[in-house]
Structure 1
């Protein structure tokens, strides 16, 4: 079976990655696609339990997610990864592991919007110094320079994001069909 796309949604905490991933999954499942969502928070509670937020631990977390995404995509499953992946070198590692199916999607939102949406209170805790190495406040986030798609959730809702992602997947499918015919 042909590899399916891996959509790697990166952005700050609260940007909307998980929400978009859930809605996109529902849309794709409704069209009969096999879909898996790999949510960074869920991965950290299970597969990457015990890893911290040092550069080495973040790299290992991303490596684990990328390996899982690659394996699933080789089975024809569309994989939606919702993970901060704050550094470009970490996303580069994911791209190298996954290969051609990898599509980087920058889920962009202003820091103030992310803080306003923060249901877990992590930004407030980071600002009080209770959470160290919190991406966007006390730790670096490097926005992608050339993502396959940019979705700005400060100006567009989840339905626009899902429509944009569906269009990206359709373009990927068309390119794959052309390669198969060549």
Structure 2
């Protein structure tokens, strides 16, 4: 279905800067990327909790949760994976425009797709957080039993096994989740946000 030519963007009378002033902090997207089992959802939730505890506006967008609703019509083939990330980027953009810090936890294995999302945002609003963790560690954790299924051929095109993961070339933050505790990781991320004067 083609987009109609009669669409017009409606501008809000309340700006993003107005919302920043009200909230007492800037907005951005923390884009957690890494292999399944690297700890994306766990860390995003921990950072969200830390922000909430200090009275900041934040929200987690989790890969599995989004596929239960907004993206329930998408499969895991190449085209739908790309569309999955595009939609998440658009949702994250709305959250950032509303003045919140959005934490997006998605494997998002391809650099091209992550760049597509990055390009939706203003400078320094997109913060790529690479959860660097050896696949052996991720597979040993296997919290959802997905690696076992992938090894048996029950899950085709599984990232890290039968489909590639393209590591970020210049992420803003790298977290080695096999060597750092959750507390250390949260501190590293919040320190970055303070250094960039987002908090």
Give TM class, smaller chain.
over 0.9
Question: CA offset at residue 33 of structure 1?
Answer: 0.3
- Provide the residue aligned with 1:142 in structure 2: 166
User: 5+ unaligned residues in a row in structure 1: which ranges?
Assistant: 177-182
Q: 2:35 — aligned with what?
A: 12
Asked if the contact 1:63/1:93 (under 8 Å) is kept, the reply is: yes
**TM-score for both structures, normalised by structure 2:** 0.85
2:63 corresponding residue in structure 1 = 40
CA distance in 2, matches of 1:109, 1:146: 16
Q: Which runs of 4 or more aligned residues in structure 1 lie more than 3 Å from their structure 2 counterparts after TM superposition?
A: none
**Counterpart for residue 130 of structure 1:** 154
The Cα offsets for residues 4-29 of structure 1, whole Å up to 9 and x where unpaired, read as 02100000000000000111011000
TM-score (normalised: structure 1):
0.92
CA RMSD of aligned residues (A): 1.3
Question: Equivalents in 1 of 2:148, 2:88: separation in Å?
Answer: 28
Q: Distance in 1 between matches of 2:73 and 2:156?
A: 16
Q: Say how many residue pairs are matched.
A: 175
**CA offsets, 1:91-121, max 9 Å, x none?**
0011012333101000111101111111211
User: Which of 86, 91, 95 is equivalent to 2:109?
Assistant: 86
* Structure with larger Rg: 2
More helix by share: 1
Distance in structure 1 (CA, Å) of the matches to 2:66 and 2:151: 25
